[in-house]
Amino acid sequence: SRTHIVTSRRTRDAPHFAMRSAICASAPFASRGPSPRRARAPRRLPVASAARAPDDTPALVVVIGAGGRTGSEVCRHCVSLGLPVRACTRTGLADPTAILGDDAPAAVVPWSSPLVRAVAADVTVPDQLPAAVASASLVVFAATAPAGGDPDAVDHRGLAETARACIAAGVPRLVVVSGAGVTKPASPAYRFLNLFGGRMDAKVAGEDAVRDLYRHLYRRAADANRRAPREGGGNDGYEPTPSYT
């Protein structure tokens, strides 16, 4: 399992960057980026080249916070790649057409097998999360506390509970859409946004909690590897190394 925490000054660009780095990285045929000497214009992958699960079914993407601006952008990008999306909102009553706008016809036809399914997943209710992330190839956390809401409950504890659910379900990849200036607590953006219920402090606390959870996971895997018997004895010098993006 890997966790990717994506920070973008332009929130609208964040989901595109997150999805391309998360989906394209898992496709063996996808370009790893142009050579520094030969810059090329970005190219959208065709539907036929979208990432697929080992059984050759399209990889399921779970979007937490699909009803928001960033979450809906992630959903649209997945649909453009032909990927099925589990669009998670607090109530689960969201209409895919409201999330996708003009892209809705491509997602909801045929009705017998829509690409987008809206389900209930309130990150402040941990019991809802295991079913929400089950069987996912990728989970995108694009939720944030609404105006007047509780950032600590959503951006901190809600994110941590989502990571726990992903680890328990064996989700290969978790992408966290962060906020502008989250790595620069002295910046004007951080200080301004933090006026709203400590929003930025909650984001930092949530991301730190996710890193701690995955570090613990890697350490457990390393310990299990050291204890595992090897033919001929020893552990062949293998020690897994945590990887963070």
Judged against a pLDDT cut of 50, whether residue 158 lies above it is answered with: yes
Contact yes or no for 11/69 (Cβ under 8 A):
yes
> Which phi and psi angles does 141 have, rounded to 5°?
-95, 100
Judged against a pLDDT cut of 90, whether residue 230 lies above it is answered with: no
Q: What is the pLDDT of residue 51?
A: 58
Q: Which of 200, 58, 69 is nearest to 136 (CA)?
A: 58
Q: What is the pLDDT of residue 33?
A: 44
Q: What is the pLDDT of residue 9?
A: 43
Contact yes or no for 5/245 (Cβ under 8 A):
yes
pLDDT (tens digit, 9 = 90+) per residue, 60-119?
999 999 999 999 999 999 998 999 999 999 998 877 788 888 777 777 776 666 899 999
Amino acid found at 131: A
Whether pTM exceeds 0.85: no
**Cis link prior to 110 (omega < 30° from 0)?**
yes
Amino acid found at 41: A
| Interhelix angle 199-227/159-169, nearest 10 degrees | 20
Judged against a pLDDT cut of 50, whether residue 243 lies above it is answered with: no
Q: What is the pLDDT of residue 156?
A: 97
pLDDT (tens digit, 9 = 90+) per residue, 1-50?
555 555 444 444 444 444 444 444 443 333 334 444 444 443 333 333 44
> What percentage of the chain exceeds 70 in pLDDT?
68
156-183 average pLDDT score: 94
| Highest mean pLDDT: which range of 27-31, 142-146, 220-224, 237-241 | 142-146
Q: What is the pLDDT of residue 25?
A: 42
Judged against a pLDDT cut of 60, whether residue 142 lies above it is answered with: yes
Distance CA 99, CA 101 (A): 6
